Amino acid sequence: MAGSANLNVMMKTARKAGRALLKDFGEVENLQVSTKGPGDFVSRADRQAEETIRDELMRARPSYGFLGEEGREIAGEDPTRRWIVDPLDGTTNFLHGLPHWAVSIALEHKGQIVAGVIYDPVKDEMFYAEKGGGAWLNESRLRVSGRHKMIESIFATGLPFAGRADLPDTIRDLARILPACAGVRRFGAAALDLAYVAAGRYEGFWERGLHAWDMAAGLLIVREAGGIVEPLNPDGDIMVDRQVICANEPIFETFAKVIRAS
Ligand code: IPD
């Protein structure tokens, strides 16, 4: 798809950061056997990737604001536009040498996400969308899955770790959904979970405790692939409550009823 100038900047930037992260990922395995471990190295790689992304985006569009996972927010001269960036979504996977992580870049205009890019350098998969232009994976148009039976459907979520307060809710969700579906996956990178719903690899995804940078690009990509995206609490707001539920159209209602029953 021939994208806008902004989309081209986002894809070029994601590839550049992705190439550097891929090189660092190759080092992680060696570091795992060292006494210091790979923790500091990965934090550095994560911060460096954000710097690369920020420099590229700010150079191309100096008036836009910037919100990244690793740094403080930068207000732009143009208050209506800002980049929302997760330089490395799936940090824990990266740290453990698991090849499932991505760079996520979104562009927000007047409070709405208008373009999103999620790049998985290991698989060289570039998921992207612009508002009204459909969703894409590399050169192919994306469409959410056509499955309509819960029992044949696969869902993804995030499991709360390190003492997060939403553990009981998630356990209740799992107790209800597991008997009713073909499986639940926890792959550890929310941006890719959303991209996979858009690609029809899962029928749906839900998670609590996410941040804007984990979700921003993915929400647009799912919507542009024909999926339904809502706040987990129907009266809430995805970004404010930091909770989301999404699925293909035939499954959404049943799936949401099961998850929202807690
Ligand atoms: C994390 C991943 C994970 C999700 C966590 C996020 P990070 O992002 O997306 O799948 O369950 O809530 O914080 O820290 O790797 O960028």
The Cα 200–Cα 146 span in angstroms is: 8
For residue 22, what is the domain's CATH number? 3.30.540.10
Closest CA to 52 of 81, 28, 79, 19: 19
Same structural domain, 15 and 103: yes
Ligand 1 pocket test, candidate residues 43, 86, 202, 214, most atoms within 8 A of CB: 214
Same structural domain, 115 and 164: no
Domain edge (last residue) among 141, 160, 195: 141
Q: Which atom of ligand 1 is nearest to the CA of 189?
A: 10
Average pLDDT over residues 160-171: 90
Same structural domain, 51 and 166: no
pLDDT above 80 (res 136): yes
* Model pLDDT, residue 163: 83
* Model pLDDT, residue 161: 87
The percent of residues in the chain predicted with pLDDT above 70, rounded, is 98
Per the prediction, the chain carries an average pLDDT of: 95
Closest CA to 197 of 226, 170, 177: 226
Q: Which atom of ligand 1 is nearest to the CA of 193?
A: 10
161, 167, 173, 189, 259 from 164: Cα distances, Å: 6, 6, 15, 17, 19
Same structural domain, 117 and 192: no
Closest CA to 155 of 133, 112, 184: 184
For residue 243, what is the domain's CATH number? 3.40.190.80
Same structural domain, 176 and 255: yes
What would the two tokens of residue 195 be? Answer: 């991209």
Same structural domain, 129 and 237: no
pLDDT above 90 (res 262): no
State the burial class of residue 133 (Cβ atoms within 10 Å of its Cβ: 0-12, 13-18, 19+). Answer: middle
Domain edge (last residue) among 119, 141, 163: 141
How many domains does the chain divide into?
Answer: 2
The percent of residues in the chain predicted with pLDDT above 90, rounded, is 88
Same structural domain, 159 and 134: no
- 203-258, pLDDT tens digit by residue? 999 999 999 999 999 999 999 999 999 999 999 999 999 999 999 999 999 999 99
Helix axis angle, 167-177 to 249-260, nearest 10°: 120
The boundaries of the domain holding residue 228 are 150-260
Same structural domain, 159 and 186: yes
Q: Which atom of ligand 1 is nearest to the CA of 186?
A: 10
Closest CA to 128 of 228, 25, 10: 10
Same structural domain, 14 and 55: yes
How far does Cα 114 stand from its chain's mean position? Answer: 15
Same structural domain, 132 and 163: no
- 65-89, pLDDT tens digit by residue? 999 998 889 999 999 999 999 999 9
pLDDT above 80 (res 97): yes
Same structural domain, 134 and 203: no
Same structural domain, 212 and 239: yes
Domain edge (last residue) among 95, 114, 141: 141
